[in-house]
């Protein structure tokens, strides 16, 4: 590492050591470091599909749209299922073990925070999860692998076996309302935290991206680790444009050295 990088790592460690209620906010950059393609990046899902085909109203009203939706969803789910938590995911778990984490608010649908060992009660999935499926009519829930089995057997569009209603993964589609409880919890934690740690989010997908701004407005410090610039970069107390795993991993080594040496 060069002197400038060393200074940033030390500054990040100092911020964490001095904080007791950290709100971790994660985006697609966390997932890409686990090998999951980003929807919006070149070569991502939206290079292969037109997002307008998957508007929520279209999914619930057009059978052909549902068939295309399940095709897209399946292509995305299979590599997601095989993905493993990155160094960044494990570092967040380390932060929790140190008693520093108030909550993990994520835009991701891959359940990697769960698999990394973060406490489920601390994880708020603003855009839902790809690992369960619900009937939009009666609410019956299914494990995603059960539905994948139907699709692999040749079923093009799975329907609820209880009421024949439309099934949909528990993710938030374009035009679908955000989960009210999750959003309310995220904003409540934003008001309580003393540090908002943004990891791998472009901060351009709203309303989720309002959460770090809300934390700033309520007196929290802001640290951003993301490869590309974000709209909140000018307001950040710490800004690192680098790999999350590399930067946060190094920061956590300094944190542990500071706390336990």
If you search the block for the tokens 């997601």, which residue do you land on? 80
The answer to whether 66 touches 59, Cβ cutoff 8 Å, is yes
The answer to whether 130 touches 169, Cβ cutoff 8 Å, is yes
The two structure tokens encoding residue 81: 């299922």
214 is catalytic: no
Rounded Cα gap, residues 232 and 225, in angstroms? 11
Rounded Cα gap, residues 13 and 18, in angstroms? 9
The two structure tokens encoding residue 211: 């959460």
The two structure tokens encoding residue 46: 């939206």
Q: Which of 127, 214, 218, 241 is catalytic?
A: 127
Show which residues are catalytic.
127
């Amino acid at each position: 590492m060069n002197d400038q990088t060393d200074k940033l790592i030390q500054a990040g460690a100092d911020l964490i050591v001095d904080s007791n209620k950290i709100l971790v906010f994660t985006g697609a950059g966390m997932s890409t470091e686990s090998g999951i393609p980003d929807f919006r990046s070149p070569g991502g899902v939206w290079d292969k599909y037109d997002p307008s085909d998957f508007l929520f109203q279209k999914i619930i009203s057009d059978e052909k749209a549902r068939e295309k939706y399940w095709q897209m969803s399946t292509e995305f789910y299979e590599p997601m299922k095989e993905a493993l938590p990155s160094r960044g995911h494990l570092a967040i778990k380390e932060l929790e073990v140190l008693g520093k984490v108030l909550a993990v608010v994520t835009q991701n649908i891959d359940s990697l925070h769960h698999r990394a060992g973060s406490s489920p009660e601390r994880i708020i999935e603003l855009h839902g999860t790809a690992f369960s499926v619900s009937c939009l009519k009666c609410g019956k829930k299914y494990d995603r692998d059960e539905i994948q089995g139907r699709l692999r057997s040749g079923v093009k569009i799975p329907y609820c076996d209880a009421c024949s209603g439309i099934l949909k993964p528990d993710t938030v589609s374009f035009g679908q309302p955000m989960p009210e409880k999750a959003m309310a919890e995220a904003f409540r934690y934003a008001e309580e935290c003393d540090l908002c740690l943004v990891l791998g989010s472009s901060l351009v997908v709203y309303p989720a991206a309002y959460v770090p701004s809300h934390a700033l407005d309520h007196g929290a410090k802001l640290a951003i680790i993301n490869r590309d610039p974000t709209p909140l970069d000018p307001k950040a107390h710490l800004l690192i444009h680098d790999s999350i795993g590399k930067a946060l991993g190094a920061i956590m080594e300094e944190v542990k050295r500071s706390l336990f040496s």
